[in-house]
Amino acid sequence: MTESEQLNEASYLQRLLDDWEFAQAVIVAGQLGVADLLSGGPRSVTDLAQETGTHAPSLYRLLRYLAGRSVFAEAGDGLFSLTTFAQPLRSDVPDSIRAEALWAGSDAYQRTWNNLSYSVRTGRSAFEHVYGRPFFEYLPEDPALAKIFNDVMTVNSADEGPAIVDGYDFSRFRKIVDVGGGHGGLLALILDRCPQAVGVLFDSPDVVASVSRNLDPLVAAGRMEKVEGDFFKAVPPDGDAYVLKFIVHDWDDEQAVSILKNCRAAMAPDGTVLIIEMVVEEGDAGSAAKELDITMLLFTRGRERTEKEYGELLHRAGLRLVRGLRTRSPFSVIEAVAT
């Protein structure tokens, strides 16, 4: 029996509304960095308030509420400590969600989601409605937001990358171009798994300029090249694999076809295009792809798509869908070659 069947209809919906309030509390704790401050052991609300610049009685009320939902624990005398559910709010743990908390708590995120009704009524991006220009045009103008967004993409790559490289065999490729590759986390994993390959990390100038020095050894060894550019104009040539993770879903059909055509024009004669996205499945079952699709409606002109819809985009770009491979993450690898 599902949770919705165990509860009556009103109670089920009320719980969903309450979870929105709980999420706001988690976000504020993430913004304040409370979990990092507690990483060394229990601390008093007085100390925490002093370090976070907050009102101690109000911070106590916040942490008491979160402790009631198993995020943090109250030890008595105003002392709080971490719980297993609070650990991921730390910024220094492998499964950290602090970047996601900062993203969800940003003005851009909150104001955009508050305009969901606009997107549903018009089919247009709420972000563009609020900020007057597309998300990816605005991002370079707001360095703080750009850093948060890129940190989220990097964390997601770290979480999902191993499942992707386990789920698809990249070993036959010699030159791999990561189109819109962000901070290079996925490409680094692929190159680590495939010592025979070299990689090209291709993204906009502002993103490439912010790439972590952790990739410098790959660059120094001649195994990775960082290239700036605009994938709507051209992509680096002569790759035998073009990886597009979390790229095609950002754009409407015409823009997506334009990117794919540029990959088709640039790739080696026997090249392969690999679209890595969350694929929408048919039916009523909930999925990460369906949830993310609402985010795309709000922030971009793009959408999540079914495998059939990706096949149609590829056909328009002069490519043929060979197969779609599910990984143990929410992502699938859609493999295509020239027609």
| Chain position carrying tokens 């009631």 | 68
CA distance 208 to 223: 16
> How high is the pLDDT of residue 71?
97
| CA end-to-end distance (rounded Å), the chain | 47
Each domain of the chain, given as residue ranges in start order, spans 3-98, 156-281+299-338
3-state DSSP helix/strand/coil percent for the chain, to nearest 5? Answer: 50, 15, 35
Architecture of domain 156-281+299-338: 3-Layer(aba) Sandwich (3.40)
Fold assignment, 3-98: Arc Repressor Mutant, subunit A (1.10.10)
Contact 307, 315 (CB under 8 A): no
> How high is the pLDDT of residue 168?
96
Contacts of residue 214, Cβ cutoff 8 Å, sequence gap at least 6: 188
Predicted TM-score (pTM) of the model is: 0.85
CA distance 305 to 279: 6
> How high is the pLDDT of residue 78?
85
Percent of the chain predicted with pLDDT > 90: 84
CA distance 56 to 45: 6
Which parts of the chain sit beneath pLDDT 50? 1, 4
What tens digit of pLDDT does each residue of 4-53 get?
456 688 888 888 888 999 999 999 999 999 999 999 999 999 999 999 99
Query: Which of 282, 236, 301 minimizes the C-alpha distance to 263?
Result: 236
What tens digit of pLDDT does each residue of 286-295 get?
899 999 999 9
Q: Which DSSP letter does residue 1 get? A: -
Catalytic residues: 249
Contacts of residue 173, Cβ cutoff 8 Å, sequence gap at least 6: 194, 197, 240, 241, 272
CA dihedral (117, 121, 127, 131) positive or negative: negative
